[in-house]
Structures are given as structure tokens and as C-alpha cells.
Structure 1
């Protein structure tokens, strides 16, 4: 404020100097004058306005309190409640009258400027000031506070119980195919779901574009005749990593078009670090959680490789798991930590090996006997806080590890059958539950989705999904919906209308569209803009009327011909056996006439043809003259009697 005042004084001095210069130079001025402000008047006006507003607020509050008071005791209590406020108001007014003695800081503290405080807040302040007298009169407020406390405790109980947060009240079923759904992926926004299976297909599902029919809008086979092992969207959701049974991973865009394909390495080189890519089938893959262009794959060639989306000719770095004897070990699953600084791999010899992302030679954490040797570790997953690691083993166990003490597991759950090398385990969005699926043999029970409490590691909930194994499970933190892939070609989505957001809720509210049988014109409309009006074809305004007309036309509507009654007509025969040959055979068998003499067979119709002419004779009946035939002469009779060799040749 002081700086502003100084600036105004400096401007006024400058203006006076400018005026003197203008008078000396002989002209009126330098242009428009700057506006001057009386700061003291502005401060005084603002202070008076604040005092008036505060006084009005206090008067209205006193009127409301007087109207609400009932009884003398309540009136006395109310007066005691407002006594300090009146004193404060009187003190405030006294301070306001002494303008010169009070500075700006004390005025701002004493004046009541702004909207009034809510009544509950003021009552609590008065209770603190006046003591037990006002507490006795405020029993109703205490009861309200107790009710609020009870509601808060109930909400706290719901928050403490993570089972009530599981969204499983409703479900929808997506029919991927008939074989195992071995891969699931949801983009970060939760708008699109991608499923892959043993049938080599990758299907795209759009929740916002589907109706109750829940049909995929695109299906393709990006890796030809290789089973899909893993699918995952990048952290930006613009590309998808596709890992299949071949040695080359692919990256597709959101619509399924190819963006990148990793190079294949040289299988005749012994040192896998010297090759540019994998030389054996892939087992798993995932994107870096922070760097959007980096992803990782693991393969049966005994390596874990990181790749850069911009350079597909060579891998970025290589990590080689080793056994206790230093031999090559096949990694079956791999993942990044939540911050992207660690790379973890579960191996076939039962070990879990973790590297620093920048140090690819020696492991940072190494557990030798995490699972039974020879069992494929199907999944490893980091918790959201980054301190806990969960591993799903092929030895029917689920284990939880603390990275800070990686020698032995924190908790172990047994009896969880696992028949697939890609069975998932994941943490709930609040990091309090751990979820995995169980496998069953064909027609020997139902596959289940099992929930474990992270602290006690007790099984707190389970969902029977279907009569097949539960292979993939995914709990999306933004949608709060659980996606499940099963062994019979189904992908199920579990959700709660109250706890979940968007996702499956978008498509279940849309009724299924009825397919129109004929939505196009029956014949093509040829546009001839330069034709004469007499030859120009009229444009069809409505397809409905045209369809109705075409329906009445037997040729355009392809009306089937009615069955033949009688002997047949137009080349068609009646149902005497269904074929023309059978009809002919039957007529020949029933024909009693003797056609050994063809002349007699033809002439037997001569009398009927002459009596009832049908074809040629009726047309010339009026104009045809009477036919005259030549009579036989004697010469002709003699010529017939002569032998053949004496006849004259004509």
C-alpha cells in the first residue's frame, strides 16, 4: 500500500514538472492528464462500508435469535450467548470511532468483515467460552453430533472392511471364442478392452460403443498361427504390446494396425547378449510404467530384454537369469516395479530374480527357493506402495514377499491349483486385497476368483466364475471393475453400479439394436446429371415405398414358384419322384403303345391333327388354298417297274 501511495505522489510531482515545462515551451500540455485518486477518501469509504455491513449482520442475527427463543430460561441462555458478541461489537465500534489512534492492522482484526459464520460454528465457540451453562442448553446439538459420530463410525467400519469394496454384484459375459482366453488388457482410461486367446485371435471391445449384445468391433490375428500369451496397453493407451508364441513381439495401435515388430536374433550364436533379439518363443511382456516408449519381454532363450519403440532393429538391454550353478535359466514371467527402477523375473527353477534397471549383470535381489524347481512361475506383481511382491507359482501356491527382506516369504497360501503358465495375481486398488484365479480339470468343478487379505493373508472372499479354469484376472483402479479370462473362451466383467464407474455400466443400459433385413436399395441408382429430362431417371426419395413396390413384384422379390399340379408345364414336372429321369422312366413304364414302327407312331396322331389343328393350320385357315397333289401317270408306273440299274440318273 505504501508503495502505491509513493507511486501516486511521484506521478503528481511529475505532472507539476510537466506543467512548468509546458508553460515555458509555450503550449498547453503534453496530452491527456493522468487521473488522480484520493487514497484517504477511498480508505475511509471502505472502512465505513465494512462497519455498516457488520452492524446489519449482527442486527439480523439478534432478530433471528429472539424469534427462536422459547421460555425465559432459553432467553437468558441466549442473552449470555450473545453478550460477548455485543461487547465485541461495542468494542469494535469504539475502535472505529478513534480513526487516528488505531492503525490498519488492528482495524482488520477487530472488524467483522465478510459473510457471517454458520450457527453451528458460533454455538461451538460460545460453548467453549461460557462453560457448562451453555453446554446444558445445547443438548440437542450434542445429540446431533452423536448421530454424526455414529454415521462416521459406520463409514469407518465400511472403510476398514475391504471385502465390501469388491464390485461383484453384477456381471456381463463377453464371448471371445471357444478356446482359452490367455490375455487381457484394459487401456488406462478404461474405455477399451482387448482379449487374446489360444485361437490366435485378438478381439477389441469398446464399452461406450457396445449395447446389450456385447459384440467385439474388431477381430484379427496379428501373429498368424501363434497363441497369444500376453497383451498390455502402454501407460498412455495409444499402443498395445502383443506377446505370442513366436520369438518376435509386436506393437499395435488402438485400431489394431501394426506399429512395430521386434527383430529376431541369430539362433546360432551362443552368447545371447550378442544377438539383436530373441531366438525362442516368448513367455511374457509388459510396458515400462513411466517411460512410454520402453517395454520388456522374456523368452525361452534364457533372456529378459528391454526394447525401445523408436528402434526396432535391436534390443535396448539384456538381463540373463542364472541358476545357483551359473547355468542358463528360462524366465517365465517378468514385470517392472511401480516406479520402473527394478526389473523382476520368475524362472523355471523356482527362483525370483530382481535387477536394477541400470545394472544388467548382477541381481539386486535373488531368492533361490521361491517356488518348487521345475514349476513355472506364472505371474509376479508389485503392490501399489512398491514394497511388496506377490508371486503365483506353478506349485499351486501364492506367496507374498517383502523386498526389504527377500530371503523368505511373508505369507504363503497353498492349495490353489494352477494348470496354466499365465495365471494372474494382482492387488486391489486400495492395496488391501490380493486376487488370483484357480484352475480345474474339464467338468470337475468351477474355477474361482479368490481374494486374500494382505495383512493376515486369510481367504476372505471367493467368486465362482464358471465351469472352467480362471486364467487371467485384472482389477482396474479407475473403473473399479474386475475382468476375468476363463479356459472356455469367456471374458467376464464384474462391477457394482454404486462403486464402479463407466466401463460395463455404459453398455448394459443400451438396448440391443434390431437388425433391419433390407436397408439398401434393391437396384442401383445411376446418376446422369447431363441427360435430357425425358431420359433422366427419377431419384428415389424413400426406400420404404420402393421396397414395398418391389415386394409385390415377383421377379424383384424372388418369389418362389408354386408347386406343380398335374403332369407339368414349362419344363417343370410334378412330384413323381423329384427328378426328370424318374418322371420319364415312370411314363415309359406306363406307356402301353408299341413304338417299334416309327411311321405308325407318328401317323396315329394324323387324324387328330387334321380334325383339331392347333399350331400352323389355324393361322392360315382363312387364306390357305385347297392343296392339290399330282396324280401318278403311266410313265411313272413304268419307271417304277424298270430295274434299278436302268433308271435314269437325275
Structure 2
């Protein structure tokens, strides 16, 4: 049997008349004619050939199978009987009806315009392309779904009031680092931890998932001994921390604060800084590579920037020298990578901004603005925007400037009257690059230092938040948490967040109640001692395990101690009339009466002195001729003084 062909011609759907029905009817008629010819003319039952019967059974089975598949798949024609003709325009219309928010097609005024749109648009567009198409046509969109609401918010965000609503500062939480100024602040890329460093050499680790409302750090250490922590930054993966201190050697710690790398120190007696293995002066700044987890950049007062690669090699990979206008050496106060790591920017002490292209040699600068800031005032911070086209600098000359890398000769705008006492005061961009944030040190005559928010388009002040009665040093706007972390000069770290726009972070800690730990030391309680009270009312004195053990040892029953001697003797119950040989002879043979145990043996002997002298029996008769007369000492009366002892020369 011949199979039907599936035709893909003009895009139309024609299912009214299946083409295979006529062919199937012709085949059945032909089979009937063949069977009639074979059986001959005449009524009654017709004889059929076996081949014809098999063909008819196969046709019926195929018809049933195709009918079942048509019901399951929901199409009108399938298999050998009918050819399916697909219509793409009909499929697009069905997609628009079922998913109206993906392809916002407008109503056309003419048929030609509608035909052109149908030719261009084949499937649903992404939201960004749909918004661009709506802006190009300049037609109002229908408020039917969430995309319309987001487009309305984007249109309202151009106003200054909408920018102020984007700042997460409805709630405030305070963390206490110490009593000295917090100079360094860094957040984990995932938003799980925060690390801070201060001028008193301490470095604190804060875990938002493990803290409660008490907001206490879970670890505190001094990684660089007696050097203040100037800068901290997490790597792109969040498993390592770069520590920049007042020392000449930078350190890399792991996530828990254990040291993994310490950079080499260069030779101080080599004049060419490119020949040394490391920095020879105090570090000023440092940062990680944006996407290489083993590469970082450091700047120091020896007039160089150094790129370090890997944790195994302790030497730098590249040395970049910062030069002043006359070719002399100048020091870099801050440095940073841009977002795609194609540029390295450095803010120098002479007021210049110098950049280098990482794809070229570091001999000549790519951009160089000599009089960017006041000469002699440190450029405390240099930050690239998230889009990478703008650059912001903060200096100790009480100014903050915004630069465009495409027109780098003059700043876009300069904000003044921003007092700064610390050479680590920084600035940062908001996650959408629409605002620039910086803090100020506490000037004379003010009670609180403020945090300023400026628009990067209109250059106007959007918001001013009073932070603390001390200086504002570091500012961190975490893009994932949408929370603001501000470090102050009195050792506190303040966290600002919004209940609706912010996620996780400090919100996890606020809901946990702070539980005080029970004191481990024992507190003595005064007791009333009543030795004559009944045992029922007697208050037993609480004793420790050591006291109970000593008391049990003194108990002869519990300790199973042997009996002690009554008065004297060595071992066992031995007394003056005990089990020795002499005492046995005296008690049984020599004496008629037993000497009491508590009687003095001297008195017992002297009691029989007269009888022994008159009638000696044992030893006295043998020595009667030679024995001297016994003279016993007599007791003096109590009132008579003893004889004076003669004085000797030693007593004199």
C-alpha cells in the first residue's frame, strides 16, 4: 500500500477535505470488484481470496490506529490517510493568546504595517528588547501584568524622589568593633560574612547567619601584630581575604582567618624598585583581580604598584612605577582594577590620576591627569562604576570628583566641603550606578557626621543621613544584600537596610533574641548553721565533690580504715601493756595487777619502788654489790620557782 506524503507548501491549514479519503475509497471499490470477478455473478455468499482478506484487515487496523493517534495528539489528519499542513501564523497567534506578556504587539492602523510586523516578529521577545521596542514606538503600554509595573517604576526612577526611595535606610543596626577607629571594611560576595579592621591592630569576623540581636563577632585576631589594618577585601570567590596593613608585606588569609600567604619584603638598599622582590615601604592600598582568584594588586610608599600571582610564588609578577610630572618618583595612595580588568588606576600623592592598560606594557600610562586633585593631598579612594565608563575619586582636599573615561581631561562634576581626616576615607557607587555615596569626618561645630548621596546624572544631593557623633571612614553598599555598612571613628559599624528591598544580611540577626550565657563560676550563698537542730530541719551545707571525697575518707566505715593505736606503739592496737614481750612478762609474771591502759607507765613503776628495793627478785640481786643508790627527782611545789640557769657567753 502506498503511503501518503506530508506536504509543506504555502503556509495554510486545510483540513476540510482530507486527500486520502478518495484514494482509500478507490482501493476498497477495486478490491470489491476483484472479489466479485473472482467469485462470479450470482447472489449469496461471495468467496474471497486470502490475499484480499489480509489487505482488508490491514486497512482496518491502520484506520483504527490513526484514529487513536489523532484523538491523543489533537490533530485532524495523521499517518497514511491525511497529510498535515502547518500554519506558522496560527501558531504565533496561539502563543500570543496564551502568553500575552512576552510579545506586546500593538494594533496596526493599516494592513501593510501589520504584515511587516508579522514578518519581523516570529516568536516572543525578551523583556529588555520589548521595552526598547516600546520606547522606539513611543506608545503607552497596557497595565496588564508585572512588566508594565516595572516599566512604570523605571520611568519614575529618573526623578530625585524615586532615587531617595531606593536608598535602604529605613532600619538601623549597630555593631561594636572596639573603641578605636575602624579603617577597613569588606563584605563577602555572597553576603554571608563581613570583616572589619581597625587602627588598634584588631580584625573582627561577623557571620550574619550565626549572630543574634546582640551583634557580636565570632572571631577576633591580630594578623599583622603591631600594624594597623588599612584595607581589607574578599576575593571574587569569597574564600580568601587580602589584608593591607601598615607593614610592607601584604597577607592573604583564608575564610576563617588562618594565614595562607605572606608577600616577600624587598631589599631596602637597592635603588631600582623593579629589581626588588617586594615592597620596601609601608603599604597604602590593595585589591583583588575582578575574576582571577589568585591575582591581586598592592600599592606602597616606595612609588610602585605590584601585581602578585598565585599562592605558591611569593614574588611579584609585574612592577608598575608611578611618576610625577618631571619624571621623579611619586607614591600611590590608592589603586583599583576596573570591572573587566583591562585598566589599573592609581591615585597619587601629587594629585594625579594615572591608568595603565593590562593588555600592554606598563611603561607608559594610558590616561594621566596631572592636576586632578590638590597637590600634596592624598587621593584616598578611586572607584570604577559597575558599567565601567565612569570613575570616582575622593581626596583629602575636601572634594569628590566624577570622571568619564571617554573624556578624561576634565571631571564631570566636583563636590566640595567634604571634610576628611583619614587617608582611608572612601566613596562607592550604588548597584545601579545612579548614585555616588561618601562620608565625611566630623568637623568643628557639628555634633554628627553625615553620609551623602549624590546623583550621577543631575549631580544634585539626593539624601543626607546623620550617622554618628564621630567620623565616617568607610562606606560599603553591598549589591547582593542591598544594605549599607558604615564604619565610624569611635569603633562602631552601622548597618542600614530596608525591610522590603533588602534581603538576608542583618535582617537574619535582628529577629533572633539575645540569650545571656550562664556564669560558670560558683557563687557562695550564706547559710544558717544550726548544730543542735533536728535532722529534719537541719540545712545541709552544699559541698563540692572534693569536699565530699575528703569527708568520705575521714569516715572509717566508708574508707575501710584500720583501727588506730590507742595511745602509743607502732602498727595495730598496741599500748603500753599490749602484745610486746616485755609488756607480757610484766603483766603475767612480775605484776599481780594489770596495768591500766590509760595509766602513766612511770607512775606505775615508781609505785613499786619501795618493794623492789627491799625485796629484789630479778635483776637487782645480781648487781647488788656494784649498783649505785637510785636517786629519783622530786617534784617541786607549784609556787617555788625553778633554779636559775647560769648565763653563758653566748647569752650575753
1:149 shift after superposition: 11
Residue 434 of structure 1 is aligned with which of 433, 436, 441? 436
1:405 aligns with 2:407: yes
- Greater mean alpha carbon deviation, residues 38-47 or residues 280-289: 38-47
Q: Could you tell me which residue of structure 1 aligns to residue 153 of structure 2?
A: 155
Q: How many Å separate the matches in 1 of 2:419 and 2:323?
A: 27
Unaligned runs of 5+ in 2: 7-59, 110-139, 523-538, 549-596, 611-628, 635-642, 644-652
1:204 shift after superposition: 0.4
1:457 shift after superposition: 1.1
Q: How does 1:184-333 map to 2 (within 5 A)?
A: 184-333=185-334
Residue 68 of structure 2 is aligned with which of 45, 63, 81? 45
CA RMSD of aligned residues (A): 4.4
Look up the SS of the partner of 1:505 in the other structure.
helix
1:312 shift after superposition: 3.8
Q: How many Å separate the matches in 2 of 1:112 and 1:269?
A: 74
Q: How many Å separate the matches in 2 of 1:320 and 1:455?
A: 35
Structure 1 residues 125, 213: closer, same or farther in 2, change over 3 A?
closer
Q: How does 1:308-457 map to 2 (within 5 A)?
A: 308-357=309-358, 358-441=360-443, 444-457=446-459
Residue 504 of structure 1 is aligned with which of 497, 506, 509? 506
1:266 shift after superposition: 0.5
Asked whether the equivalents of residues 470 and 487 of structure 1 are also in contact (C-alpha less than 8 Å), the reply is: yes
Residue 85 of structure 2 is aligned with which of 105, 108, 118? 105
Asked whether the equivalents of residues 383 and 389 of structure 1 are also in contact (C-alpha less than 8 Å), the reply is: yes
TM-score under structure 1 length normalisation? 0.63
1:454 shift after superposition: 0.5
Look up the SS of the partner of 1:406 in the other structure.
coil
Q: Could you tell me which residue of structure 2 aligns to residue 34 of structure 1?
A: none
Structure 1 residues 172, 119: closer, same or farther in 2, change over 3 A?
closer
Deviations 1:348-387 (A, max 9, x none): 0000000112421100000010000000000000001101
Q: How does 1:82-97 map to 2 (within 5 A)?
A: 96=76
Q: How many Å separate the matches in 2 of 1:115 and 1:150?
A: 19
Q: How many Å separate the matches in 2 of 1:298 and 1:346?
A: 10
Asked whether the equivalents of residues 176 and 489 of structure 1 are also in contact (C-alpha less than 8 Å), the reply is: yes
Aligned length: 461
Look up the SS of the partner of 1:105 in the other structure.
coil
Q: How many Å separate the matches in 2 of 1:334 and 1:111?
A: 56
Q: Could you tell me which residue of structure 2 aligns to residue 474 of structure 1?
A: 476
Look up the SS of the partner of 1:273 in the other structure.
helix
Structure 1 residues 2, 176: closer, same or farther in 2, change over 3 A?
farther
Asked whether the equivalents of residues 260 and 312 of structure 1 are also in contact (C-alpha less than 8 Å), the reply is: no
TM-score under structure 2 length normalisation? 0.63
Q: How many Å separate the matches in 1 of 2:450 and 2:92?
A: 64
Query: Is the radius of gyration larger for structure 1 or structure 2?
Result: 2
Asked whether the equivalents of residues 261 and 312 of structure 1 are also in contact (C-alpha less than 8 Å), the reply is: no
Q: How many Å separate the matches in 2 of 1:551 and 1:284?
A: 67
Look up the SS of the partner of 1:390 in the other structure.
strand
1:441 shift after superposition: 4.5
Asked whether the equivalents of residues 260 and 311 of structure 2 are also in contact (C-alpha less than 8 Å), the reply is: no
1:434 shift after superposition: 0.3
Q: Could you tell me which residue of structure 2 aligns to residue 463 of structure 1?
A: 465
Q: How many Å separate the matches in 2 of 1:270 and 1:125?
A: 71
Unaligned runs of 5+ in 1: 5-36, 53-95, 130-141, 521-549, 560-618, 645-650
Structure 1 residues 151, 204: closer, same or farther in 2, change over 3 A?
closer
Asked whether the equivalents of residues 170 and 495 of structure 1 are also in contact (C-alpha less than 8 Å), the reply is: yes
Q: How many Å separate the matches in 2 of 1:253 and 1:149?
A: 43
Look up the SS of the partner of 1:378 in the other structure.
strand
Asked whether the equivalents of residues 51 and 111 of structure 1 are also in contact (C-alpha less than 8 Å), the reply is: no
Deviations 1:226-260 (A, max 9, x none): 01000000000000000000100000001110100
Residue 484 of structure 1 is aligned with which of 483, 486, 506? 486
Q: How many Å separate the matches in 2 of 1:423 and 1:364?
A: 26
Look up the SS of the partner of 1:46 in the other structure.
helix
Q: Could you tell me which residue of structure 2 aligns to residue 515 of structure 1?
A: 517
Asked whether the equivalents of residues 470 and 485 of structure 1 are also in contact (C-alpha less than 8 Å), the reply is: yes
Q: How many Å separate the matches in 2 of 1:513 and 1:230?
A: 33
Q: How many Å separate the matches in 2 of 1:414 and 1:316?
A: 39
Q: How many Å separate the matches in 2 of 1:218 and 1:371?
A: 39
Q: How many Å separate the matches in 1 of 2:166 and 2:458?
A: 18
Q: How many Å separate the matches in 2 of 1:363 and 1:387?
A: 18
Asked whether the equivalents of residues 205 and 218 of structure 1 are also in contact (C-alpha less than 8 Å), the reply is: yes
1:552 shift after superposition: 5.1
